[in-house]
Amino acid sequence: MQDVNYRPKIVAFCCNWCSYAGADLAGSSRLAYPADVKIIRVPCSCRVNPLFILRAFQRGADGVIMAGCHPGDCHYTSGNYFARRRMTLLFSMLDYLGIERERTRVEWISAAEGAKFSKTMNEFAATIAALGENKRLEDLRCKK
C-alpha cells in the first residue's frame, strides 16, 4: 500500500530561454502546479546529460522531466534537436530495462506558454503520484 503521506519527488530540467521563462510566466500568471516539482535551470535542453537523469533517480526522484524550446525555436539553433534524439534513445533504453516509461518525459514549452508549463507539470505530477515511489532505479543508500 502507498503511504498516505507519500509525495513524489520530481526534478524538472528547464532550458533557460524557453521553458524556464515559461515557468516564470506560469508564476506571474499564478498558474499553480504541485510543489513536488523542483526546477533546475540549464542553458539548453542539450545540456541535459543522461547522467543527470539517472543521478536524480538514484538520489530519490520519482520522476524526471526535461523541458526545452519547441523544435525549430532553440535559442542555440539546434540544441533541442540533439536533446530530442538523446532522450528518445535514453527513454527507450530505460523502458527496455523495464523501468516505467512514464517516469521520464520531454515537453517543449515556449516562453509564451505559462499555461502549458503549469498544465504539463500538473499532469506529470499526477502521473508520478499514481505510479508511486521509484523502486526500479532507486539507490537505498540515498534514502532516509
What is the smallest separation between the CB atom of 16 and other proteins, expressed in angstroms?
A: 8
Question: Binding to other proteins by residue 21, rule CB under 8 A?
Answer: yes
Q: Considering the complex, state which of residue 11 and residue 128 has its C-beta at the smaller distance from other proteins.
A: 11
Among 2, 6, 38, 126, binds other proteins (CB under 8 A): 38
Q: Considering the complex, state which of residue 31 and residue 129 has its C-beta at the smaller distance from other proteins.
A: 31
Using a 10 angstrom Cβ sphere, with 0-12 exposed, 13-18 middle and 19 or more buried, the burial of residue 70 is middle
What is the smallest separation between the CB atom of 1 and other proteins, expressed in angstroms?
A: 19
HEC-encoded secondary structure of 123-139: HHHHHHHHHCCCCCCCC
Question: Binding to other proteins by residue 67, rule CB under 8 A?
Answer: no
CA–CA dist 106, 110 (Å, integer): 13
What is the smallest separation between the CB atom of 129 and other proteins, expressed in angstroms?
A: 15
> Which of the residues 78 through 117 are near other proteins (CB under 8 A)?
78-79, 81-82, 84-101, 104-106, 110-113
Q: Considering the complex, state which of residue 23 and residue 128 has its C-beta at the smaller distance from other proteins.
A: 23
What is the smallest separation between the CB atom of 72 and other proteins, expressed in angstroms?
A: 6
